[in-house]
């Protein structure tokens, strides 16, 4: 397997891929540590979100030599909640639905299509945006999200580590040179961010104030806003949807999942989850979407969407 095999494989599946030498991983890890040393990260955010990368630990590949970064277009998913007087269409932004299974399926496909063994290639747990920028796969928008030509920012990144040596034809790119040209003179995401997580003062997102983080946790960052400035059951789309580069690129897929009024009612008001049969059904529905988060988070976010919780 070489870089071209990988790119051809991706293209045949409607994806895009780029490669890096495995040494790029240590460089990226050091980059994060340097930023951390300079106080760029809120310590609790770092602990919860950035300290769990396994890099080359626990990999099925014993002598890793190359890295593969893949971008896969993903739609937003729409879920319907029936209320006594109307229906609420809540949105799950791209990447939330079946996040982990999607990456695992790509790994299976890569192995099957190219004829690789388990010990040849495995999933990579690492900062995928920074690596993908270094590999030349994406550019950074001012909103801190990765962009790919024609897809905007609506894709999932998946990383693989392999025993095959894979190096880009040209030297890996400097991260700071990987900004999107279209961001020159544009500050729409910065102005639109409801919590000021995108700032003039620095390029790096103030993740601890990002609404996405607030929607995914109970005890980190600010309280999510009420009413939510988006229609998302989890995550946020504001800084992506105001972006001119993303105009018309978000695809919305209906999941077909409908929560009848009885389940919506339980989600909103049965905080102890006492109505067992309803909660079994609610959990099964979230399960079909591959959403493994605590149901109390969805319940809290729903109450916020409806303005029921301060």
- Rounded-to-integer distance, Cα 267 and Cα 263, Å: 6
When asked if residue 237 is in the footprint of ligand B12 (CB under 6 A), the reply is yes
CA proximity to 177, closest of 144, 140, 205: 140
Of 1-9, 56-64, 153-161, 271-279, the segment contacting ligand B12 by CB under 6 A is: 153-161
Using CB under 6 A, which of 156, 162, 246, 264 touches ligand B12? Answer: 156
Q: Which is nearer to ligand B12, 35 or 306 (CB)?
A: 35
Of 12-20, 104-112, 210-218, 285-293, the segment contacting ligand B12 by CB under 6 A is: 210-218
Q: Which is nearer to ligand B12, 178 or 303 (CB)?
A: 178
When asked if residue 128 is in the footprint of ligand B12 (CB under 6 A), the reply is yes
Total residues contacting ligand B12 (rule CB under 6 A)?
36
Strand 76-82 with 252-259, pairing: parallel
Of 80-88, 108-116, 207-215, 282-290, the segment contacting ligand B12 by CB under 6 A is: 207-215
By CB under 6 A, name the binding residues for ligand B12. 31-32, 35, 49-50, 93, 95, 127-130, 140, 143-146, 153, 155-157, 175-176, 178-179, 203-205, 207, 210, 212-213, 216, 235-237, 239
């Amino acid at each position: 397997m070489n870089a071209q095999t990988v790119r051809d494989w991706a293209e045949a599946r409607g994806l895009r891929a780029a490669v890096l030498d495995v040494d790029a991983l240590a460089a990226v890890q050091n980059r994060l540590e340097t930023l951390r040393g300079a106080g760029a990260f809120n310590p609790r955010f770092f602990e919860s979100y950035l300290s769990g990368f396994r890099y080359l630990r626990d990999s099925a590949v014993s002598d890793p030599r190359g890295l593969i970064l893949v971008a896969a277009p993903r739609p937003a998913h729409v879920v319907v909640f029936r209320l006594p007087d109307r229906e609420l269409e809540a949105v799950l932004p791209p990447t939330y639905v079946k996040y982990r299974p999607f990456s695992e399926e790509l790994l299976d496909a890569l192995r099957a299509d190219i004829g690789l063994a388990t010990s040849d290639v495995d999933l990579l747990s690492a900062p995928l945006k920074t690596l993908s920028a270094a590999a030349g796969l994406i550019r950074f928008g001012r909103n801190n999200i990765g962009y790919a030509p024609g897809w905007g920012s609506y894709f999932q990144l998946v990383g693989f580590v392999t025993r095959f040596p894979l190096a880009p034809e040209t030297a890996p790119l400097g991260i700071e040179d990987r900004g999107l040209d279209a961001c020159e003179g544009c500050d729409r995401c910065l102005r639109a961010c409801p919590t000021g997580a995108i700032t003039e003062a620095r390029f790096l997102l103030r993740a601890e104030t990002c609404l996405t983080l607030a929607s995914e946790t109970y005890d980190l960052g600010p309280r999510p806003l009420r009413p939510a400035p988006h229609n998302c059951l989890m995550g946020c789309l504001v800084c992506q949807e105001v972006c001119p580069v993303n105009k018309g690129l978000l695809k919305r897929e209906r999941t077909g999942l409908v929560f009848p009024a009885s389940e919506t009612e339980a989600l909103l008001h049965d905080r102890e989850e006492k109505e067992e049969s309803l909660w079994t059904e609610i959990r099964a529905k979230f399960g079909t979407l591959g959403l493994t988060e605590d149901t109390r988070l969805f319940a809290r976010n729903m109450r916020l969407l409806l303005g029921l919780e301060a």
